[in-house]
Structure 1
Amino acid sequence: MRKKILMLSTFTLFASALAVTVKHERGTLELKTPAKRVVALEYSFLDTLLALGIRPVGAALGTQGGDRGAPPYLLARVKAIPATGSRAQPSLEMIAASHPDLILADALIHQDLFPQLAGIAPTAVFQSRRGSLEDLNAQTLAIGQLVGREAAARRLLAEQQALINKARAFAKKGAPPLVAAVVTPKSFTVHTNESFVGSYLESLGRKNQLPVKDGQTQYEVSLEGLVALNPQTLVLFTAPDETPVTDIWKKNPLWQKIAAVQRGRVYQFNRDNWTRGRGPLALRLMVAETIQSRLLQDAAPSGEFRYER
């Protein structure tokens, strides 16, 4: 009997050592053991899991609700992962059919779905869509803890910081602040210093001109509003298969009054990779492209990143 009690006590201690407790946007999530079957409802979660060597049992890869699907840099990595609807319209039935022991959800997009998701499996909610680089880094560590890969997550963050430190060496001291914006056929949405890409570019040594406005890390402006801001440097995130609204603006004399246009300091990047992945894999791509574009040096953009539409 003493031997059985000892074995039970040892098992209890072992299970206790494996237990995970993580704070998230909806409180604290406790798992008795690290999750093995994870469903990711945002691309940043999917990016992070893949970077940690974890293949989710389901992910929001669908195109329902106008979603463009997975960013190009992720496409080759997600072919065998079952889709559980789109990010904006996840399928509760498909999620349940994946038998997850952890669901990763976004604080903004999935706020109304949280009770239903939590009814399927333990659910951790993070500030992905509206998070800063700091928020996304904290998310990487939390996901690493939830899946039993904390050491790997810390290594990813250390490697990422080393890349950022190297890239900062290219940054021109005293370069003028920039305005960064996602451009679609119908909208021009600026990303402030607390958005993901805004704070990322600041981490590399380029000051973002715009602070948070009325609690919004991202907000739309018109051509007249952009002219009023008159940025010295303009960073545009566009999609290669779309005609951005700036194509129309270029025909307006106001466009030529913008200092960045006059200086030849308008840079262009693929918004699918830059503003939708928001994870360790995306960051590696972004650091390389930032250096190649010559944005950090405040030099005229190289051909691939020059806005010439």
Structure 2
Amino acid sequence: MKRLLIPLLTLALSAVSGAALAGNVQHAMGRTTTPDNPQRIVVLTTGGTEAVLALGIKPVGAANGRAVNARGSVWYAHVADRLDGVEPLGEERAVNLEQIAALEPDLILGNRQRHEGVYDQLSAIAPTVLSNRLRGDWRKNFELYAEALGRTDEGAAVLAAFDKRVAELSDALGAQKDETLSVIRFMPGQIRIYQRDSFSGDVLARLGIARPELQQEDSFVLKVG
């Protein structure tokens, strides 16, 4: 009996351990079982790429940061040196599914606003986790990606360091925070004035920096032109 019981217990404990290691992540499209310690990560938004890098992971593929510039780079300058060798997968709204499949990822991170229409195809390639919005939700998105990657502790440490830096900078700014600051983006045929529900709006609010009355709306942007 003992000879039979010990192997059965060993098998049961291994199964429990494996279940604990795999993630069961609730996200914008439902619930997805993610692998333990995924190694081949594909990220389909630039914000997601920054999050993954902040967590100490270099993806195998990522959505382009922008069109190819004069130097031949598709990555934003502040992360370009950390994305050497990463496969560019096209712009966020038009990622190349064949390229993604060829990379044989074990986890895909994207966003519902960009990738809801191709979620089924992405999920057929690898477990896929989509954050909900690309607005002022960067912190929620970061926490979701950290959970999907099995790095919640590392994610909490990154956010704690961010909060500490925000507090320090806010104190250092002092009375300068009372001077209003505008965030405006000039695009072909359009000007965007960023509101509170944006990455910049969230960061400025955390710093306590004043905004003009026109930029106090709990929305994303005011489009002009």
Q: TM-score, normalized by length of structure 2?
A: 0.86
Percent identity, aligned pairs only, is 25
Give how far 1:44 is off.
Answer: 1.2
CA distance in 2, matches of 1:114, 1:77: 27
**Counterpart of 1:113 in structure 2: which amino acid?**
V
The change in CA–CA distance for 1:27 and 1:177 in structure 2 (over 3 A counts) is farther
The change in CA–CA distance for 1:53 and 1:94 in structure 2 (over 3 A counts) is same
Counterpart of 1:69 in structure 2 is 74
Q: 2:23 aligns with which of 14, 20, 29?
A: 20
Counterpart of 2:135 in structure 1 is 131
Give how far 1:147 is off.
Answer: 1.5
Give how far 1:131 is off.
Answer: 2.2
1:192-225: CA deviation from partner (whole Å, max 9, x where unpaired) = 1111111111111113332447xx5123125xxx
CA distance in 1, matches of 2:205, 2:177: 13
Give how far 1:29 is off.
Answer: 2.2
What stretches of structure 1 of length at least 5 have no aligned partner? Answer: 223-309
**Aligned residues between the structures:** 216
CA RMSD in angstroms comes to: 2.4
Deviates more, 1:147-156 or 1:111-120: 111-120
CA distance in 2, matches of 1:65, 1:219: 28
Report SS of the residue matched to 1:125: strand
Counterpart of 2:47 in structure 1 is 44
Q: 1:101 aligns with which of 95, 100, 106?
A: 106
The change in CA–CA distance for 1:89 and 1:74 in structure 2 (over 3 A counts) is same
Asked if the contact 2:177–2:208 (Cα under 8 Å) also holds between the matched residues in 1, the reply is: no
Counterpart of 1:147 in structure 2 is 149
Give how far 1:16 is off.
Answer: 2.0
Higher helix share: 2
Mapping for residues 183-194 of structure 1, pairs under 5 Å: 183-194=186-197
Give how far 1:31 is off.
Answer: 2.2
Matching of residue 88 in structure 1 with residue 90 in structure 2:
no
Report SS of the residue matched to 1:179: coil
**Counterpart of 1:28 in structure 2: which amino acid?**
R
Counterpart of 2:61 in structure 1 is 58
Give how far 1:187 is off.
Answer: 2.1
CA distance in 1, matches of 2:124, 2:67: 23
**Counterpart of 1:164 in structure 2: which amino acid?**
V
**Counterpart of 1:207 in structure 2: which amino acid?**
A
The change in CA–CA distance for 1:45 and 1:94 in structure 2 (over 3 A counts) is same
Asked if the contact 1:35–1:101 (Cα under 8 Å) also holds between the matched residues in 2, the reply is: yes
Q: 2:175 aligns with which of 172, 182, 193?
A: 172
What stretches of structure 2 of length at least 5 have no aligned partner? Answer: none
Give how far 1:171 is off.
Answer: 3.8
Asked if the contact 1:171–1:206 (Cα under 8 Å) also holds between the matched residues in 2, the reply is: no
Asked if the contact 2:110–2:129 (Cα under 8 Å) also holds between the matched residues in 1, the reply is: yes
Matching of residue 163 in structure 1 with residue 158 in structure 2:
no
CA distance in 2, matches of 1:174, 1:95: 44
Counterpart of 1:288 in structure 2 is none
Q: TM-score, normalized by length of structure 1?
A: 0.64
Give how far 1:72 is off.
Answer: 0.5
